[in-house]
Amino acid sequence: MTNLDKLPERFRGPMLRYIEHGISGGHFLDGVMSNDLLATVGRADRYSQEHLVELVKWVYSYAPRICYGSSSVVDNWTSNGGWLGAYGGSWAELDVMGRKNAEAGDELDG
């Protein structure tokens, strides 16, 4: 996965486990990935509130498009075991997907 180092440090492990294996990162991260602003903000602690915009920009710019966007997408992603469970993909395939998202001009400006 590209640019994991651009994520706030506290979210790196949970995001990696979610994308690769479909393991839920908790209510807050599930809210982000489900595009549910009310759930996200309602479950955010101070650190999460302070880094919410940074996290959302990273998801938009680097996370595989097929793993976020609605609660049904998140439910399917977790039940299929993420990228590796559903596609048997490798780290390199995740890296290529992330670069394609950024190269398509979708990366948000800082």
- Domain map (residue ranges) of the chain: 4-103
pLDDT > 70: what percent of the chain? 79
The DSSP code sequence of 49-108 is HHHHHHHHHHHHHHS-GGG-SSHHHHHHHHHTTHHHHHH---HHHHHHHHHHHIIIIIPP
Helix axes 91-101, 46-62, angle to 10 degrees: 90
**In the prediction, which pLDDT does 100 show?**
52
pLDDT > 90: what percent of the chain? 68
**In the prediction, which pLDDT does 3 show?**
83
Whether the per-residue pLDDT at 107 is higher than 50: the answer is no
33 close to 74: Cβ distance less than 8 angstroms: yes
**In the prediction, which pLDDT does 89 show?**
72
**In the prediction, which pLDDT does 97 show?**
56
| Structure-token pair, residue 99 | 């670069």
| Structure-token pair, residue 49 | 């509130």
What pTM, to 2 d.p., does this model score? 0.80
Task: Please state, in angstroms and rounded to a whole number, the distance separating the CA atoms of residues 56 and 64.
Answer: 13
Higher local confidence (pLDDT), 95 or 44: 44
